Each structure stands twice: as C-alpha cells, then as structure tokens.
Structure 1
Amino acid sequence: MTKYFEGVFPAITTPFNTDGSVDHGFLREHAKWMMDAGCKGIVPLGSLGEGNTLDHDEKLAVLATLVDALNGAPVIPGIASLSTHGAVALARDAQAAGCQGLMVLPPYVYSSDWREMKAHVDAVISATELPVILYNNPVAYRTDFLPEQIVQLAGEHANLRGVKESSADVRRVTALKGTLPQGVELLVGVDDALVEGVQGGATGWIAGLVNAFPAESVELFELSRAGRMEEAAKLYHWFLPMLRMDTVLKFVQLIKFVQEEVGHGSSRVRAPRLELTAEETRVARATVQEALANRPALATTAVGAK
C-alpha cells in the first residue's frame, strides 16, 4: 500500500515583509532549502504557519507559491476555519491549487463533543479525494481525538491516511500503532518527543525547528528510524533545548527567532502575536548560541548506508 506521509515534513513558517504582507520570495527559497536537506514535503498554514491570521486569498497565494516551488513534491496544507463551510471550501481550493494532501484540524475557537467534531472532520475529509492527515492537538485546540475515535474515522474514510499526534503522550502512539488500519501512518507532531515517538512506531515527523535546522532534523529522524540509538541520542541531546521551544505558548515567535539567529528567516510575526520581549530574546539567544557553538558534525553518507 502506498505510503504518503513517511519522513520529515516541515510545518513551514509564513514569512512576512516589513509591511506585514507575505514574503513569497523567501517562502519559495525556504521551502526549497528544506527539501534539499532531505525533507519529503511541506506542511503550510498550520499552527506554526500562523494560518489563523491569514485570509482565504492569502492562504491560496501561499499554496500557489509552494506548489510551483516544489515542482511535484507534496504540499500538504493545514485545513482549518471558524466554520465547517470555510474548512470545506479551503480543502477544495487546496486540491484545485495542486496540493497533494491535506492536514485536517478541528475548527478554530469552537470545540465540543465527539458528535460535533466528527461531523466537522467527516465533512472536510469527504470534501476531496486527497490523502488526509488528521491533526490531533488537544492542548492547542481543546479537542482530543481519542484512539478509538481515530480508528472509527479511519474505518469510514479510505483517504484518511495519517495522524499527526500532538498530545505529547507517547502512549498515544503505541495505542494507535496497534489499532489503526493498515496504510494509516503515524506522525510525531511535537518536536521534543521525536525519538520516543519513532520508537513507538511513528513513521513521520511534522517538525518545527526543521525551519532552522533541516539537516539536523532529517538526520535525527533517520537515525531514529534506523535504530541507531546511540548516535540518535547524542544528536537529540544537543537538539533538545531548541526542540523544547516548539511546545510553549510563544513557539511561533521562538522558532522564527531561531531562524533569524541562524541567518535563514525573520522573526516578524503577525498580530495578535508580537515579537519576543528583550528578556525572552536574551534567553532564547543564549540557547541558540550555545547550540551553534557545539553544533555536531553530521554524517557525510546516507544514514542507511553505514
């Protein structure tokens, strides 16, 4: 059975110009840079991509830029809206734009019981024939898709082919791994649970700090998948202080700041987010500078070749 979501998929940040508009030139360059490092596709318009601050036309423009830039590699946008109608419209427009998959989120703001949430995702998953990743992030969206509910959805939708598990509970990975139908892939959705998630059976990673360190992210994932745990543990130990930036309230500001510190991006965000305070910047910069001072040498040959 075809595997759609195996490997590292950046949850790409959305770059902004000084006037607040989307910087499409850098967006194109940034996506190619991460793909050249070994990533398997790009996931725009998610939480890290500040999708909830972009209007519909801006979202479609982002997708058009990425589809053109990636020249056939998967673009898998986050699909979310205040309404089910809005999410369905975005899903259909994403397919028309040439996207090769969708990541379906619960609706913004409103969260309720399983009956209502199921009706929402049923409608969005059914809106296209594209392979879908269901995004479970109970911390951010106050909607928790339990393993038995995800199994039910997978049984009812042939195009539900992945689950981005962001509960930060690695027991969810092992629970899902043993119950999901064949062909439904598990993806780690929080940066600082990558190794544990892969050990539990995940085959993909929708990553955040990959926006600043794509080569290190790909190598960490591949070492973990290959079972080379001593090497993976060393790289993970180096990476963890930055990976933990992905799991706090200001993760968008922090990851964009890290991009700026390594010379590949800008810390500009769109309101209501504001850039980091002076003290937050000082702490974050110290973490990044320590990491850069001790940056490990990466393998010069493919992980699987050794």
Structure 2
Amino acid sequence: MKLDESARGVFVIAPTPFHPDGRLDDASADRMTDFFLESGCDGLTVLGVMGEAPKLDGAEALGFAARIARRAGKAPVVVGVSAPGFAAMRALARGAMDAGAAGVMIAPPSHLRNDEAVLAYFRQAVEAIGEDVPWVLQDYPQLFQVQMPPALIRRIVSECPSCVMLKHEDWPGLEKISALRGFQKEGTLRPLSILCGNGGVFLDFEMERGADGAMTGYAFPDMLVDLVRLSAKGDREAAHDLFDAHLPMIRYELQPGVGLAVRKYVLMRRGVLASDAQRRPASALSAAARAEVEYLLGRLARRDPRAQLARAA
C-alpha cells in the first residue's frame, strides 16, 4: 500500500546495521525490523539522517531498502532518497517503490535560500521521481539550513499533490504545527500527515499541538509507541510521566556527533543489533560516555522495566 495523508502513529527511523569491518549486517537488519514491528511501530523509515545513507553506494542503498520492505510485509516503509542530483534520486525512488516501499522522503539541499527556489526544487523533484510516488517533505532547518515557514509548506503541499506527509523537525516548532493545523481548519491546506522528529525531544507537546505521531529514532521505540497512544486518547498525565522518565536518555541520545553511537549502543544492549558499529567516517563512544549511558539506563529502569538490561560485559 502506498503512503497517504492518513498515516499516523510511529514510523521509526531505522539505523543501518553494520559488521565491525563495515559490511552490511543482514541478520541484524532482519532482527531490527522484527523488533520495531513487535514494539508496535506503524511503519519504518530507512536511509534517513541517522541511517548513514551517504556511506552506502547506490546498489547497497537500494538493496537495504528492499530487504527492509520485504521483511516488514504489510507495514509501510518510507525510504530517504535525498541526493545531490535528480538522476540518483529517481533511481533510488523508483527502485524502492518497485521493491515494495510505501513512499519516499525528500529534504531540500542546503543551497536554497528563498521560497521560490525551494518551491521550484520540489516541483523538479516530483517531476524526477514521478507524480505517482507519494513523498514526505523533510523540514529540518538545523541540519539542512533551509527555512520553510508554514506558508511555504502550504504552497509546496498545494502545488505538489503527491506530497502526503510532513516530517516536522523545526526547533522550536510547536507554533508551526499549530499554524499548519490552523490552515486546515480554515480550509486553505488539504489534509496532511504530520510526524515529528528531533529524537522525540518535544513529542509530548507536539502531539498536543496536532501532530499525528513520530518519525524519529530512539533506542526505545516502544516508548514512543506508548506515548503517541496515550496522547491520542487524551491521557495527558500518563503521557507526560512516561516522557519525563525517558527525557534524560532522549537528551543524551540527541547529542550532535555521537547521538547515533549512543542509539546503536543501546540497541545492541537490547539485543537488537549484533554490533554498534558505524561505517567510517564514524564517531565512537568513549569509556566515559558508555559509563554515562549505563548510568542513565539504570536510572530509567527504576521507572520503565524495558531498561532493565543484563550488565554489560
């Protein structure tokens, strides 16, 4: 099934598992996919910012996306296809859709500096991948250095009908969600799924502002699932209590540079990945950082039994 504007819940950002020698780890990829779905995730997103996509060649990227899509079965898989040129974007987008992906995700390149340039870029991207491919607009100005205010997002969505979802990662961005939902209430913006990123650091209030869920990574995706569920049914205090328990770990994992190392380390500790290896160039956790992560896991375990892990060797 193709992605559409009704998408809700948690589309977890999947890391790319590697062996210590840099080879793709297919067994861990299968185990990771199973773990995410057993945790209650509604879908998966691969080859995102935390998926080390630039470290894969074209054949590896397509092969990895196809493997996850096959393993996920009926669960929708979104594939990041952002690329310096449209030829590579088209090849990965079309190949991924042929392999069973539900949609693709596109981010604006960092050289775009005004609204008309951004709009023109996405028009050309849609022409390149095909109007039949549903896609996610990734709004992450902290990384891509492209500002997309609510009015511009409305124009992109209005002029590109195959855009069905916004991956909202602006920070601060709560008012942007309110503005977009306000456009919908007044009838100037068609239905649009809004899933939020940034490691979930504002997910508690993003849900209250009208987000449909999360599209982010975190070593406890099962917690994200619970948080979205609690928020959706209006159990505000329980949602915030759960979020508050995990916030120290979320904050630690959100660190620039070493955040992926933290996430992979905890997923390895949870038995999901065989190794926390990244493909070079890569960051690594120091002994002090690993000790801090273990300390945070111990504290979290007092409030969430999912963090009760066997002592690391």
TM-based fold match above 0.5: yes
Moved more, 94-103 or 11-20: 94-103
Distance 2:241 2:121 in 1: 42
Shift of 1:285: 2.4
| Aligned sequence identity (%) | 27
SS of 2:167's partner is strand
Give the aligned partner of residue 182 of structure 1.
Answer: 190
RMSD of aligned Cα (Å): 1.8
Distance 1:296 1:288 in 2: 10
What is the CA deviation profile of residues 23-58 of structure 1, one whole-angstrom value per residue up to 9, with x for unaligned ones? 112111211211122111110000111112111111
Shift of 1:72: 2.3
Moved more, 192-201 or 51-60: 51-60
Give the aligned partner of residue 121 of structure 1.
Answer: 122
Give the aligned partner of residue 213 of structure 1.
Answer: 220
Distance 1:182 1:120 in 2: 21
Q: Does the 8 A contact of 2:139 with 2:169 survive in 1?
A: yes
Shift of 1:296: 5.0
The one-letter code of the counterpart of 2:163 is L
Query: Does 2:288 correspond to 1:288?
Result: no
The ranges of structure 1 where at least 4 consecutive aligned residues each deviate by more than 6 angstroms after the TM superposition are none
1:165 alignment partner, one of 164, 168, 171: 168
Give the 3 Å change call, closer, same or farther, for CA 132–248 of structure 1 in structure 2.
Answer: same
Query: Does 2:65 correspond to 1:63?
Result: yes
Distance 2:81 2:246 in 1: 29
SS of 2:237's partner is helix
The one-letter code of the counterpart of 1:232 is A
What are the residue-to-residue correspondences of 1:242-281 with 2, within 5 Å? 242-249=249-256, 250-265=258-273, 266-281=275-290
Distance 2:261 2:115 in 1: 32
Shift of 1:73: 1.6
The one-letter code of the counterpart of 2:283 is L
What are the residue-to-residue correspondences of 1:1-306 with 2, within 5 Å? 3-107=5-109, 110-126=111-127, 127-128=129-130, 129-169=132-172, 170-180=174-184, 181-190=189-198, 191-209=200-218, 212-249=219-256, 250-265=258-273, 266-295=275-304
Instruction: List runs of 5+ in structure 2 lacking aligned partners.
Output: 307-313
Distance 2:254 2:7 in 1: 22
Give the 3 Å change call, closer, same or farther, for CA 115–273 of structure 1 in structure 2.
Answer: farther
Q: Does the 8 A contact of 1:165 with 1:188 survive in 2?
A: yes
Count of residue pairs brought into register by the alignment: 293
With structure 2 as the length reference, what TM-score do the two structures score?
0.88
The one-letter code of the counterpart of 2:124 is A
The one-letter code of the counterpart of 1:150 is I
Q: Does the 8 A contact of 1:208 with 1:246 survive in 2?
A: no
Moved more, 283-292 or 96-105: 283-292
SS of 2:229's partner is helix
Distance 2:6 2:105 in 1: 12
Q: Structure with the greater relative contact order (CA < 8 A, sep ≥ 6): 1 or 2?
A: 2
Distance 1:294 1:228 in 2: 18
SS of 1:271's partner is coil
The one-letter code of the counterpart of 1:84 is F
